[in-house]
Amino acid sequence: MFGRDTERFGMGLRDRLTKQRTKPVGSSEGANPAASSVTTAPEGERQADLDVDAVMLEAEALAATGAHAQAVDLLASAVRDDSSGNHRLLIALLDARSAAASAVEGQPREPWPPAYEDPFPDVVGHPPEIDAADLTAEIMGGAVIHHGSLIVRGLFDQKATTRCKWAIDMVQEHRSASEPKPGGRKWFRPWPGGTTLDGVLRNNVWEQGGTWLADSPAACSIVLEEMKRSGALGVVTDHFGERPLISLQKSTLRRSAPEYRITAWHQDGSFMGDQARSMNVWVALTACGGDRPTPSLQVAGARIDDILPRDGGLVKSSISDETVIAASGGLPPVVPLFEPGDSLIFDDRNAHRSYMTEGMTDFRYAIECWFFAPAYFADSYLALLA
Ligand SMILES: [Fe+2]
């Protein structure tokens, strides 16, 4: 029953949007590396007179019938077509993602974990790697379950990389401003209604150059759109067997300063809960890794199946070097090289830490995007439909 209503609401509006999309892009939009603000309207076209109120009403009508995912998709489509980057539309999209996550009835994949073959039987001691065109759920799942992580070269193309990096700069600019700037709320709006602990965690992340993705309606829209366009969202959906959630507290825009500090080995599963089904799509937006002068990521040399003792002593979740190496069968950890747009994909068992050495000179931009299977979400987090 909902399907029929969904079709009627959704297609009607989409027809109207298509008819309205006729006006060519003017040169006034050209300086923006995001090519059309917070949209991805095809180059040479833009939405002329998007009726934001009509779109929002249509989305509300969809949600009222229980078609929450379609409401999200409708709003996301309108955001793509809206060259003005209307802040009400962006916030409505985030709200719709939250409502959709609350309403989702998970139909989890069973049995779990899936029985993936090892696609890289000859790889030992470092993450296997593929080109973005070769990414499938079987390759991703097989690499993660047998090797701990997978490097995907060029997951984000140059346009996506430039756009996301620009979005992080916009978030930084608006968040750092001593006085609110016009349009600021779409770039930084702390999620309303969080707990006191959320406030503390948010500040901790900010002190290290990070902003929670869902604290920026515009950046959240951009990143999830690029996750979809790159194919990553589809592959994670195939892996879980259902459309995933993200969380307020675990998806982060990172602009990491080259400031040396001691960092802790950890497994995110040690604080997400044992049952959570997760996959982190981490994307480098600047060149990093190896002996480059930028912060990067260091990962264990092998797959670790268990949650390890938290014997690091640095923070509550930290694991000692010795325990990580022993759990990796004696293999040393590695600091993979990443070019802009390259991704490292791993789940909650992977032992990793930020990699920093003294004398680094350059900032590192990256996106950390944890996806969760809805039926096995980390309950202490606030959920949003991806
Ligand atoms: Fe982590």
Q: How far is the CA of 317 from the centre of ligand 1 (A)?
A: 10
pLDDT at 10: 40
d(CA 230, CA 247): 20
- Could you tell me the maximum CA-CA distance found in the chain, to the nearest angstrom? 63
Q: How far is the CA of 11 from the centre of ligand 1 (A)?
A: 41
d(CA 157, CA 226): 9
In degrees, rounded to 5, the angle at the alpha carbon of residue 258 between the alpha carbons of residues 170 and 220 is 30
Per-residue pLDDT of the chain (386 residues; tens, 9 = 90+): 333 333 333 445 545 444 443 333 333 323 445 444 454 433 434 455 789 999 999 999 999 999 999 999 999 999 999 988 999 999 999 999 999 999 998 789 999 999 999 999 999 999 999 999 999 999 999 999 999 999 999 999 999 999 999 999 999 999 999 888 888 899 999 999 888 999 999 999 999 999 999 999 999 999 999 999 999 999 999 999 999 999 999 999 999 999 999 999 999 999 998 889 999 999 999 999 999 999 999 999 999 999 999 999 989 999 999 999 999 999 999 999 999 999 999 999 999 999 999 999 999 999 999 999 999 999 889 999 99
Tell which of 67, 85, 103 closes a domain. Answer: 103
Which CA distances in Å does 280 have to 26, 37, 66, 215, 311? 38, 26, 29, 18, 24
pLDDT at 48: 56
Q: How far is the CA of 119 from the centre of ligand 1 (A)?
A: 25
Q: How far is the CA of 160 from the centre of ligand 1 (A)?
A: 23
**Residue 109 domain flag:** no
pLDDT at 47: 53
**Residue 122 domain flag:** no
**Residue 220 domain flag:** yes
Q: How far is the CA of 262 from the centre of ligand 1 (A)?
A: 15
pTM of the model: 0.89
Q: How far is the CA of 280 from the centre of ligand 1 (A)?
A: 9
Examine the domain organization and report whether 246 and 149 are in the same domain: yes
Q: How far is the CA of 45 from the centre of ligand 1 (A)?
A: 40
Q: How far is the CA of 168 from the centre of ligand 1 (A)?
A: 19
**Residue 346 domain flag:** yes
Q: How far is the CA of 353 from the centre of ligand 1 (A)?
A: 6
Q: How far is the CA of 27 from the centre of ligand 1 (A)?
A: 42
**Residue 69 domain flag:** yes
- Go through the chain and tell me how many residues it has: 386
Q: How far is the CA of 89 from the centre of ligand 1 (A)?
A: 32
Examine the domain organization and report whether 291 and 252 are in the same domain: yes
Examine the domain organization and report whether 210 and 325 are in the same domain: yes
Q: Which domain holds residue 22?
A: 2-103
Torsion of CA 61, 63, 65, 69, to 10 degrees: 130
Examine the domain organization and report whether 269 and 226 are in the same domain: yes
**Residue 117 domain flag:** no
d(CA 291, CA 25): 43
Examine the domain organization and report whether 213 and 140 are in the same domain: yes
Peptide linkage before 336 cis (omega within 30 of 0): no
Cβ atoms within 10 Å of 110's Cβ, excluding its own: 8
In degrees, rounded to 5, the angle at the alpha carbon of residue 378 between the alpha carbons of residues 268 and 350 is 20
pLDDT at 42: 39
Examine the domain organization and report whether 86 and 162 are in the same domain: no
The number of domains in the chain is: 2
Supply the CATH number for residue 180's domain: 2.60.120.620
Q: How far is the CA of 41 from the centre of ligand 1 (A)?
A: 34
Q: How far is the CA of 367 from the centre of ligand 1 (A)?
A: 12
Q: How far is the CA of 382 from the centre of ligand 1 (A)?
A: 18
Examine the domain organization and report whether 240 and 369 are in the same domain: yes
pLDDT at 106: 76
Examine the domain organization and report whether 70 and 161 are in the same domain: no
Q: Quick one: how far is CA 372 from the chain centroid?
A: 11
Residues 294/257, Cβ–Cβ less than 8 Å: no
Q: How far is the CA of 199 from the centre of ligand 1 (A)?
A: 19
**Residue 50 domain flag:** yes
Q: How far is the CA of 186 from the centre of ligand 1 (A)?
A: 27
Q: How far is the CA of 349 from the centre of ligand 1 (A)?
A: 10
Examine the domain organization and report whether 71 and 134 are in the same domain: no
Q: How far is the CA of 347 from the centre of ligand 1 (A)?
A: 10
Examine the domain organization and report whether 65 and 195 are in the same domain: no
**Residue 36 domain flag:** yes
Q: How far is the CA of 117 from the centre of ligand 1 (A)?
A: 26
Q: How far is the CA of 209 from the centre of ligand 1 (A)?
A: 15
Examine the domain organization and report whether 49 and 136 are in the same domain: no
Examine the domain organization and report whether 200 and 66 are in the same domain: no
In this structure, what DSSP letter does residue 203 have?
A: H
pLDDT at 13: 53
